[in-house]
């Protein structure tokens, strides 16, 4: 699921953020996005299928910035490398030459099947967990994001040493 948001009323806050140094500005935006994502992720984990708990464990967020911090991107969903589950397949049997073939363990990666759990397939009914969590939290996200950024900007401006502050950033 891809959601593009533009938040009304955030322009004036972002103008003030633009006056801060670039690295401080990037930290403020990342911190606010992570804080806003936490309730959404908690709700998604509560709604995720609990068959193996691997999918629940793999849910998280990644925040990336591009163009020197001009574009901030946050992805929420199953993360690669998290929530592996070992599944036993092929029970022990005797091979063609009389040797015993042991069980083979296979890793299931939630990032590969999460979309099928969310939307369903021809043979699997949908078991949505991200969309209901988004619908529950989307009204709160824009207000909370604006207030968190504004609070962080106020704290940053109060702590800036006039000698180290360079305008133009």
Q: What are phi and psi of 104, to 5 degrees?
A: -110, 130
Assess whether pLDDT exceeds 60 at residue 98: yes
Distance CA 65, CA 26 (A): 8
- Between 102 and 151, residue with greater pLDDT: 151
Look at the pTM and tell me if it is higher than 0.85. Answer: no
Q: What is the pLDDT of residue 125?
A: 93
Assess whether pLDDT exceeds 50 at residue 169: no
pLDDT band with cut points at 50, 70 and 90 for residue 159: confident
Which of helix, strand or coil describes residue 95?
coil
What does the pLDDT look like over 48-96, one tens digit per residue?
A: 988 878 888 889 999 888 887 778 888 898 988 776 666 655 556 666 6
- How many other C-beta atoms lie within 10 A of the C-beta of residue 100? 8
Distance CA 110, CA 121 (A): 16
| Residue 103 DSSP class | P
Distance CA 41, CA 47 (A): 10
Distance CA 156, CA 20 (A): 8
Q: Where are the domains of the chain?
A: 11-79+127-159
- Between 2 and 147, residue with greater pLDDT: 147
Which of helix, strand or coil describes residue 76?
strand
Distance CA 71, CA 76 (A): 17
pLDDT band with cut points at 50, 70 and 90 for residue 16: low
Question: In this structure, are residues 77 and 116 in contact, taking their beta carbons and an 8 Å threshold?
Answer: no
- Between 15 and 118, residue with greater pLDDT: 118
Mean pLDDT of the residues in the chain: 78
Q: How many CA atoms lie within 13 A of 9 on its CB side?
A: 8
């Amino acid at each position: 699921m891809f959601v593009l948001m533009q938040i009304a009323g955030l322009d004036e806050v972002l103008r003030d953020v633009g006056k801060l140094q670039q690295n401080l500005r990037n930290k403020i935006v990342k911190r606010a996005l992570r804080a806003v994502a936490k309730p959404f992720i908690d709700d998604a984990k509560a709604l995720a299928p609990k068959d193996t708990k691997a999918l629940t464990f793999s849910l998280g967020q990644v925040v990336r910035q591009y163009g020197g911090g001009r574009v901030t991107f946050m992805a929420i969903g199953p993360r690669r490398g998290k929530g592996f589950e070992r599944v036993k397949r092929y029970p022990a049997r005797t091979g063609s030459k009389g040797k015993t073939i042991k069980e083979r363990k296979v890793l299931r990666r939630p990032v590969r099947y999460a979309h099928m759990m969310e939307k369903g397939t021809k043979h699997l009914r949908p078991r949505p967990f991200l969309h209901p969590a988004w619908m529950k939290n989307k009204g709160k996200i824009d207000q909370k994001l604006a207030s968190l950024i504004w609070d962080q900007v106020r704290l940053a401006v109060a702590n800036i040493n006039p000698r180290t502050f360079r305008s133009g950033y």
